[in-house]
Amino acid sequence: MKVLTELNFDKPTEIQQQAIPMLINESHRDFIGLAQTGTGKTAAFGLPLLESIDPTYKGTQAVVLAPTRELGQQIGQQLESFSKYMKGVKIATVYGGASIQGQIRALKQSPQILIATPGRLLDLLNRKAVQLTGVRYVVLDEADEMLNMGFREDLDHILSYTEGEKATWLFSATMAKEIRDIVKKYMHDPNEVKIDTGNVVNKNIDHQYFAVKAKDKPSLLQYIIQLEPDMRGIIFCRTKRDTQSLSEQLQKRGLPVDALHGDMSQAQRDQVMKRFKNHTLEFLLATDVAARGIDVNDITHVIHYALPDDAEYYTHRSGRTGRAGKKGISLSLVSSSDQRKLKFLQKKLNISFSEYTLPSPVAVENQKLVAWAKRITDVKTDYEAINSHQAEIYGSFEHLTKEELIDKLLTIELDSFGIREPAFDVADLDSVSLDGKGSSGGRYKRFFVNIGKIDGFGAPDLIDFIMEYSGLNKKAIGNITMEDRRSYFEVEKEEANGLEAAFKDLMLDDREIRVNTAEGRSGKKGKGGDRRGGGGGGKSRQRKSGGGGRGGRNRRR
């Protein structure tokens, strides 16, 4: 209890409340704990594990398997903290990318608890550097992630070394088929605790999005990183290659960022994390796998450079901010191809995305200058150090007024920022319906038109076409769904009266154009909401008879 008080462990999470009593009272029984990453699973199994081992027995009694080095290190550090006042308890952590000889020496100290990544443990077993015959507890942490990373065969081999009587405790965010296979093969009548947090997101997190074309994301990201002096976060990319290339781009621009991915050596990863924790770095670029195990509480922003395909991954990512009662921001940079993902996440997680407002360069510069001025006023003057220089420097400034001196210093500092609002194209995401457009808000009426992609039209061309012949403002047009030979579009109900008549007798390449009210939602799956560029503008259009329309392009009467 003493160490828990020291660690401010006074309010257990839901998984801890349910799992800890069960694992202590029935430690011999298999157990399944289903809960999201970041919900305190390490304490949920770590505290009962420490209660269950025999400190007087010298040998490995418990093995904890983790998918990544970072998570393994985090578990090891937490168990070391929990066992601070437990005499005789030894804990060892082994993982790839570090000296195996040093780890073998640690194993010769007969630790009761061994924390390992699957690959390194299998290597040690093959070298006969570790014995698992006396293991009474096996903990599979982030089991779903281990299987996603291809460790199924390694797990089978490792578990074959622990064939004696033991309890297996499995913790996972999901209960996928592969997890059920593990349960069926290696577990018997397990207790199960399921924390239904799949659709629950931390209420301290503000979810925002900014629409931008994919090609302009790097320049936009650079601008965002420059916004606030106290901004600090993790930028999630889809691949290791993306993290590295984007990190190099941003570093060339003098920004305090670095990458974290699986191709780095352990020494490199440790160095990056050390710099991040001591604030030499303010942003990490990471993949979902590489970010596992990062335990930093003062992250203000999570930026999704690429949205994940799975809602649970979005929850895992966003949960890196808004911790310890603090507010956090989860910002998604979305291009037109991301719009359906964004809408899916909003519905699946029951969260509301607000549009991120990009500050002007002047506002950004002002923030930085205020922080700069505060740093100056907070500096403790070292009179002894400056004494020998004061007279000459004072003489250099004596002809300047206080205001003139401040203005010159401001100019120098301002020039050092180099902040320019990036030139980028905003992706058109109206079809996401985040603002209540389309079927979600009931403000729109849906129409059919017999023009499609086969006519050389892209969604922007169709919008221009509708505006040209109807007189509508672009803001009145909602979702666009394009198919090969037909399309659907939505118009605000108050603007929809008489719309069909506006297209009467209009011809396109000798074909009569029809615009009719459309009931329900049509269109092929995955084709909706398309507002991407496309060809079209050169089609010949004309009326069958005079009248109708206003000065259009390539139009003949």
Q: What is the mean pLDDT of the chain?
A: 83
Looking at residue 537, the DSSP 8-state letter turns out to be T
Regarding whether 463 and 511 lie in a shared domain, the answer is: yes
> 35 pLDDT exceeds 70?
yes
Regarding whether 405 and 261 lie in a shared domain, the answer is: no
Q: What is the mean pLDDT of residues 136-143?
A: 95
> 346 pLDDT exceeds 70?
yes
Regarding whether 373 and 346 lie in a shared domain, the answer is: no
Regarding whether 467 and 347 lie in a shared domain, the answer is: no
**Which of 164-173, 359-368, 421-430 is the least confident region?**
421-430
Strands (E), 433-552: 444-449, 477-482, 487-492, 506-508, 511-512, 515-517, 541-543
pLDDT at 424: 59
pLDDT per position as a tens digit, 434-452: 444 443 345 778 898 989 8
Three-state secondary structure of 116-178: ECHHHHHHHHHCCCCCCCCCCEEEECCHHHHHHCCCHHHHHHHHHCCCCCCEEEEEECCCCHH
The CA distance from 525 to 482, in Å, is 11
Read off the pLDDT band of 502 (50, 70, 90): confident
pLDDT per position as a tens digit, 41-72: 899 999 999 999 999 988 999 999 998 888 89
- The count of other CB atoms within 10 Å of the CB of residue 434 is 19
Regarding whether 112 and 254 lie in a shared domain, the answer is: no
Last residue within a domain, chosen from 355, 375, 399: 355
> 146 pLDDT exceeds 50?
yes
> 200 pLDDT exceeds 60?
no
Read off the pLDDT band of 98 (50, 70, 90): confident
pLDDT at 446: 85
CATH code for the domain in which residue 518 is found: 3.30.70.330
CA atoms within a 13 Å half-sphere pointing along the CA-CB vector of 261: 19
> 312 pLDDT exceeds 50?
yes
pLDDT at 431: 40
pLDDT per position as a tens digit, 100-129: 999 999 999 999 999 999 999 999 999 999
pLDDT at 289: 76
Regarding whether 405 and 539 lie in a shared domain, the answer is: no
Regarding whether 259 and 174 lie in a shared domain, the answer is: no
Question: What are the helix and strand counts (H, E) for the chain?
Answer: 21, 22
Among residues 126, 115, 111, 21, the alpha carbon closest in space to that of 60 is found at 111
pLDDT per position as a tens digit, 206-264: 999 998 888 889 988 988 887 766 789 999 998 889 999 999 999 988 889 999 987 88
Q: What is the mean pLDDT of residues 292-318?
A: 85
Read off the pLDDT band of 524 (50, 70, 90): very low
The CA distance from 535 to 556, in Å, is 20
pLDDT at 50: 95
Query: Is 476 within the bounds of a domain?
Result: yes
Read off the pLDDT band of 534 (50, 70, 90): very low
Regarding whether 351 and 221 lie in a shared domain, the answer is: yes
CATH code for the domain in which residue 55 is found: 3.40.50.300
How many structural domains are present in the chain?
4
Full residue range of the structural domain in which residue 312 is found? 205-355
Regarding whether 88 and 38 lie in a shared domain, the answer is: yes
> 528 pLDDT exceeds 60?
no
Query: Is 424 within the bounds of a domain?
Result: no
pLDDT at 427: 54
